[in-house]
Structure 1
Amino acid sequence: MPQQSVIFFDIDGTLLNQEKKLPHSAKKAIYKIKEQGHIAAIATGRAPFMFEDLRKELGIDTFVSYNGQYVILNGEVIFKNPLNLQSLEQLTAHALDHQHPVVFMDHEDMKANVPEHAYIKESIEMLKIKQFPRYDPEYYKGRELFQMLLFCPEGEEKQYEQAFPDFDFIRWHPLSVDVLPKGGSKAAGIGKIVEKLGFPEERLYAFGDGLNDIKMLSAVKNSIAMGNAEEKVKAAAKFVTKSVDEKGIYYGLQMVGLL
């Protein structure tokens, strides 16, 4: 048996295609590396409740969620990095003044601070998930929140970047931005898992395609960008595989010698 490695997979645009479907080739490849004794893990910007079905389908119990803010190893929480509550309240007030809705997110659910909004509907529907944020403007009180969604057109997040230095803002949709604790990233979350496992960098792998994968692909020694990734994402990776719909996971694992 080869030495055990851990392979982190992004979800949207990496494991799942544009229709949010898992290609059979990707599922088969992941089961194959697990049979060989490797650890298949997920590294995503999604909340844990947004990919529970996928984890069950692939038999995965190790993951980095919320772009590194909530980390699970073998089914156990090993790291949490919640948003600063005072800054969160200030940002929410600022967003309301500018007619930009927000969604509060913890590890179990998400709630909107407005009853309904076209930006929220369009963005969340694109994810093709079961959950939709219901209205609860006080959901943040007494909770640890690991991410907020700020809904605004492209470019309008600049005012928030300047006004709220406690946070990082990462756009994932033309109408929506992830709001994270400053310095939080998938790379940092992966680091928490690697600390526990004690694996050398030569046995770490990561697949991704999005802007929120750049730090991860830059930090992980054996990094693979999907063929459907933007050029700046590909530039951050050591390897580039085919697109998600062209058996990109399968070919990428072959490329690095894991299949």
Structure 2
Amino acid sequence: MTKPKIVFFDIDDTLYDQNKLVPDSTAEAIKKLQEQGVITAIATGRSPFMFRALRSQLDIHSFVSINGSYVVHNDKPVYTNPLAADTLGTLVSQTREIGWSLAFVTDKSLKMDGEPDDKARASIESLKLPVSFPESDPHFFENHEVYQGLLFYSDHDEAGFLRNEPFNRFRYVRWHKYGVDVIPRYGSKAEGIKQLLKQLNLTPDEACAFGDGNNDIEMLSYVGTGIAMGNAVDEAKKSADLVTTSVHQDGIYNGLKQVGLL
């Protein structure tokens, strides 16, 4: 196993515990990595505006955000991959017709398409964002590059139409019992990491990543050392090279010790 030169960290239930706080052991581990010259980066489904304070807290300046659609190196964007505007417009029309809530994500903001329903409220409030609940702007997607949609429906809702043209030009990745990320068909954290590694002249074998969710599956299998949190979903654990303890049990610190970085 190649000793990693860069480590990517998911945010929710990986860097953050369920209270959206960074455990002391995690902050200590990241500081030690930085002192050793190991590059520390974030890989998240969140938009940059949602984790400014976290980046400042951990002194991290490179990240893969919005599930690989917005990549930053040393505080400067190096890769973007917005949703296709025509397909997004069709999805907007369909969700309005069937009464599902939809939100638009850019690197700077989050807007609702119309008034949010209870599923949207429950999903968004679970993120405990450092901003007020997103405002409604049904024309937002017409005037901005949208990097991700947030679609709100449960496993019990009829969603078969999403497998058909043109909706299958997007991917739909669940992160909450009501919340689903809408991303480009070939978009993923793995693709964003690939773009950042190019900037750094590093190979996937020289990268390590920690994650727990469905949107971490490709990332954990792409890097040389994929580490799933003890609280991860089963598919993430299967994609990883090893499983550490949970976020509540010093999972990042213990995982880094297992691979010889601490």
**Shorter-chain TM band:** over 0.9
Summarize the alignment of residues 55-94 of structure 1 with structure 2, pairs less than 5 Å apart. 55-94=55-94
String of CA shifts for 1:52-95, please: whole Å, max 9, x gaps. 11111001110000110000011111000000111101101100
CA distance in 1, matches of 2:90, 2:105: 16
Q: CA deviation at 1:4?
A: 7.3
Is residue 23 from structure 1 mapped to residue 23 from structure 2 by the alignment?
yes
String of CA shifts for 1:156-213, please: whole Å, max 9, x gaps. 3332232412100001111111000111000000000111111233321000010110
- Number of paired residues? 257
AA at the equivalent of 2:83: L
59-68 or 228-237, which moves further after superposition? 228-237
CA distance in 1, matches of 2:21, 2:163: 34
CA distance in 1, matches of 2:155, 2:50: 24
Does the Cα contact within 8 Å between 2:8 and 2:209 map onto a contact in 1? yes
197-206 or 5-14, which moves further after superposition? 197-206
String of CA shifts for 1:89-130, please: whole Å, max 9, x gaps. 110110011110100111110111112321121111101112
Summarize the alignment of residues 232-247 of structure 1 with structure 2, pairs less than 5 Å apart. 232-247=235-250
Summarize the alignment of residues 105-254 of structure 1 with structure 2, pairs less than 5 Å apart. 105-131=105-131, 132-156=133-157, 157-163=159-165, 164-254=167-257
CA RMSD, Structure 1 to Structure 2 (Å): 1.3
AA at the equivalent of 1:244: V
Does the Cα contact within 8 Å between 1:4 and 1:37 map onto a contact in 2? no
Does the Cα contact within 8 Å between 2:14 and 2:210 map onto a contact in 1? yes
Structure 2-normalised TM-score? 0.95
Q: CA deviation at 1:43?
A: 0.3
CA distance in 2, matches of 1:254, 1:97: 52
Gaps of 5+ in 1: none
Q: CA deviation at 1:155?
A: 4.7
Q: CA deviation at 1:42?
A: 0.3
CA distance in 2, matches of 1:200, 1:169: 28
Structure 1-normalised TM-score? 0.96
